């Protein structure tokens, strides 16, 4: 094999490895659309604008809040360290929708490489203007704009 052909061969091997790594990273990366779990077609989703979503005193952050008009659900997504279970404890979350406290909601989790997500679903919410959520010392507010 000529030295020039050998360099080409090595270049093709590195290129193939690079493409495989890029494809794997894409397949295992989390995407916001993958975290939407409301029971509808997701065509009537309204994203609420979030305030105070990053907290300095905690490893948690609120990723997004949405209102699905098709099924009258609100979904709140929190990002937390992998395998953290603190937000899953009973009474860990205090949620108010338009100043009315919500006591019943469902929680599920999604885990990716280094992060876990807690997905909170509130059902039978006919109208929404503000969603306020308190966990520990932290509070965030989502507003329909």
pLDDT per position as a tens digit, 11-43: 999 999 999 998 887 766 666 667 888 888 778
Indicate yes or no: pTM above 0.85.
no
pLDDT per position as a tens digit, 82-102: 777 777 777 788 899 998 998
Please give the Cα distance from 100 to 124 (Å, whole number): 13
Range from 108-112, 115-119, 128-132 that averages highest in pLDDT: 128-132
């Amino acid at each position: 094999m000529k030295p020039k052909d050998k360099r080409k061969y090595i270049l093709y091997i590195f290129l193939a490895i690079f493409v495989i790594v890029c494809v794997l990273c894409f397949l295992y990366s989390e995407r916001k659309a993958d975290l939407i779990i409301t029971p509808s077609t997701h065509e009537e989703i309204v994203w609420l604008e979030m305030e105070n979503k990053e907290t300095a005193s905690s490893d948690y952050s609120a990723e997004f809040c949405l209102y699905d008009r098709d099924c009258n659900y609100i979904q709140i997504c929190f990002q937390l360290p992998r395998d953290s279970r603190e937000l899953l404890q009973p009474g860990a979350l205090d949620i108010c929708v338009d100043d009315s406290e919500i006591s019943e909601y469902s929680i599920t989790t999604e885990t990716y490489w280094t992060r876990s997500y807690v997905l909170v679903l509130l059902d039978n919410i006919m109208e929404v203007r503000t969603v306020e959520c308190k966990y520990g010392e932290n509070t965030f507010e989502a507003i329909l704009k």
